[in-house]
Structures are given as C-alpha cells and as structure tokens.
Structure 1
C-alpha cells in the first residue's frame, strides 16, 4: 500500500477496478483494511474489500479486493497528506510482510506504492528509500534501480546526489556494478540473450578528449572495458545527447546513466506517467510506481493509476517468464 497518508490507496483502488489488472494477475493488497474501505467508498468504486488472514487463499477475480493487514493493532486515525511516524511505521510493516510472503513463495512478486522517506525516518527506519530497505531485508549482495518506460530501460550509477558531487562519487567500481546489474536485468528479467548496453558519458561530447572533463578516460571507459572483458556487450562512453535517441531506435537494449536527471529527463519525455521502477539484484520480483506520495493531491480523487498498472504488468510478465523458464 505504501504510505496510507499518500495516494497509494487511491491508485491501488483505481487500478484494481480496471479490467486490465484483473486479466493480469490475482492481486493481494498488503495494507490497512480500513484505509482501503474508506478509499473505495470515497471513490464510489464497485469493489468489495475482503480481509484475509495469514496464508488464506485470495478470493477469485471480480469485484473482490483481498487485503492482508500485518499490523498487530489497526492503524489509528491519521491526517491525509502529512508525514507522520505512525503511517511511516505502517508502510514499513507492509513492506516487511510482502518480502516475507515473497521469500516463502506465497506470492510471485511485489509491486510497491510510494512510501514517504520523511515518514519512515520519523518512525526510526533510516533508509533513503525502498531499494535500500529491500536489499537489507532480502540480504541481497548487490542491487540497483532500473527505471523503464516506453522503449527505454535505464540503470543508474548514482541517484539522489548533488550535481557538484558527481565527479568524486563516480568510481570505476560503481560504474562496473551498474553495467553488471543492467546486464543481469536484461538477461534474467527480460530474457534477452546478448543485450546491448549503451554507457552514457558524463560530460558534453564524452569529454572531447579531456577538454570538458576527464571522467570518461579516468573511470567510465575503464569500467566499460572491464565489462567488455567479461563478455558484456557494453559500449564505450557515448555522448548522452545522442545515446538516448539511439536506444529509442532500438540500437541498445538498455542504458547506464551516470546520474538521476541524465536518465530521467529523456525517459519521462517518452513515457511520462507510465514509467516503472524495477529493483535489480533481489532474490524476489519487485516493481514500483515511479512517483511519490503526492501529498498535495491526496483525497482529491485525481491521482493517475497509470504507473501502478504498468508496474503490475511488468511484475506479472517477469513472474510468467520465470515460471516458463522453470518448466523448460
């Protein structure tokens, strides 16, 4: 459910009311029963919230919305659109329960609605976001964030950092890890046997032989060459202003971006509202919406479920691919 004070409950209810999701999978909402009941009622949706306990079977498809609430006590009344320790703690409990069910095979994957970083930290859970929390819960050796949308699949070397700090934060090891994770995602999750990965340069014109910076020669090219030596089809650093266009035309299966906006600006230009966050490196399937809790529009009934529907579609597709691979 994500943070109950955010738009998570609303986009979940809207997504589950659509026929598209009903054809995809048998969904189980892990979150507050009372919150889902209030949300469905306020939106006027023809859905029936059905509480389930433990490992109860999920009701068959239709207008039933199965909700499993892992909280020891029901969530108390809270204010919408405001970060609070209570709702932050609840969102963490929902995640922990989902991970447990996925690890023991009761569910095939997790799709997360947005959490609020301030709220989970207020609750004593000191993580910058879902990705790091999930990595710790699943004891993943290494993991990373890939965001997909339209024809683009982008893995990031850095995410939420200041531009002024990029040069010192970009290391050969971090870039190699991002290339390695991109390759893993494209082969294991998308089933591409020999994926082509475009590696973005940091500076204009890929540094123009050192005229505009030395990061390409110092860390990016060595990382790309190290990946190539391991059999990964990674490019040498490419100027970002042309690389994304090449990927859109199908010349690359995925891109490794050096920083947040380098990858997200082109991605949202081609797929705004339908982008999906895919965590690579976990032993379980996890996708997520590519937006926040949107506290400013909570309760107005205007939240768009498009990203959640796309996230559910991707998770279902990956789960199906894995099931078929096991049969083979």
Structure 2
C-alpha cells in the first residue's frame, strides 16, 4: 500500500465534476473492519456495475468525541490511514465532513438535500442497517429510503456482519483486542493486519548503542495498543517492505519516558529520518519489561528477533486488502 492516490475532500470542498453523481457509502468507518467492508464492498460492486464514481462520506472528528470530549474515541484508523485503506478498496474519493455540535443540529431532510443531493448529487447511497443521521439521530434507515424515493437516488442498507465466534464485528471489540495486545485476533476482525503510520522521528539513539538501531514513530496520544514487543512489517514510501521487531512503550530499563513505537528492521542500514512509513503488526511476543542490565536486555532482544523471523516467515495474506496493506 503506497502513498494514497484517493482524493481527500473536506465537507465544504466542491466535488470535482468527474466524481459527481456517484455511489456514496456513508459511515464513520473507524477501522475499516470487515463489517465496514461489507458496506464499502456493496457500494463498490454497485459502482462497478453501473459505471459510476465511488465516494465515501465520513465524519471528522468521530461524532462520539464531539459529544463526549472528556472521553475521546481512540482511533483505530486516523483520517490519513482510513483514506489509504479506502483507496486500496477502490474508492475514488473520501469526503471528510467536519462534525461539530453545530453540524449535529442539522435536520435529517437538510442533511439529505444539502449534502447528498446538492453537493454530492448521489445516484445511489449505501449505509449500514442501523445508520442514523441528523439532529438527535432522527434520520433512520427508513427515512433515508423514503428520501431516496423523493429525491431520485437509490438506497441500499447492508446488514450487520458477525465474526466466526458469532459476535458482531465492531470497532469497540477490536479496540479491546488491541488493548490486550491480541493483534492476531484484531486482524481477523479487521480483515487485514492493523497498521499505523507516520514520519520517522529522530530519537535518543539508545537502540543504536545496543546494536539495535530503530525507526521511531510517535503515535497519537489516545493509542490503545498494549505496551510490548511485536512482530511487524514496515513499508517505505517507495513501496518496499522490510521485516522487523518493534517495541511500543516507555523504555523502563532506561528513562520510562513518553510512549514511543520503535522498530528494528532486519538486514537494513539506511537512514529513515523524516520519511513517511506504515507499520503492520503481525504478532505479539511479550509485554514491556524492565531489565537489570543492558546485557540482559540485548539477550532478550536477540531472542525476540529470532522469534519474529519465525513468525514472519510463515505469514500469508488473510484477504485481498491485507495483501495490499502488508504484503
């Protein structure tokens, strides 16, 4: 998955003529998990069938964060990463509608007429079976279908998707899995290996002194991933992939400082400072530990590296999207 080619538009941006009159998938889509992919894939199928542009309408920030600013929603996929995933799924554009308390008061009919009809000129609207919109969530799947009949666009509502364990695939369940470090289970619900992104930061070079130089990413403050050691794969801006072992945490053996995601790449010696990268997580090795000496830490890092090489030697894509993201 290389740098995004998808058009990212703000809610107030005019839609380019070539993207007007398309199929519009609506939702928050935080995580772009298998449940979301059922909605997005349905929209993509319709767009291909009818030869129409494929647009995603989503909201920034997450509406629950606006209503509960003291309890912000930890994001599985910040807007740039969500856009990359949508691009990999074949979307032509994503419209990131600014969501604030003023927008939350828009009446359902105004949402339809001003955004779906006047701005996007939607020919077909696809949403989840429980999609609500407008002031006090008064807009329902039923009113959306009725609005489509009134304004001349078709509507398709997609039922919920269950996991192999019978539970509904949801962003909240995936967050719980990541809090436990269970990135393998999260991948099954996501339909791809959970992936983070950012520009490589220059750190204190502690890893270099240990013989383990790292590419460091500073993650969003609300990142819920468990502190620990992970088997990962890093993709550079040129598309090349590099296996490695990563540590997420506060480095208790040294400074117990700000949380940092540090990736040691196997058989790699180039500089990466300032370069945008993505890192896909394949497996959890162990929790973060404090060691009595640098020598003890190095010995454990050697074991972690060997275990990671074994894990990554046996991986294969779990979906077409996973192939685009992590292979």
TM score, norm. by length of structure 1: 0.27
More helix by percentage: 1
TM score, norm. by length of structure 2: 0.27
Larger RCO (CA under 8 A, 6+ residues apart): 1
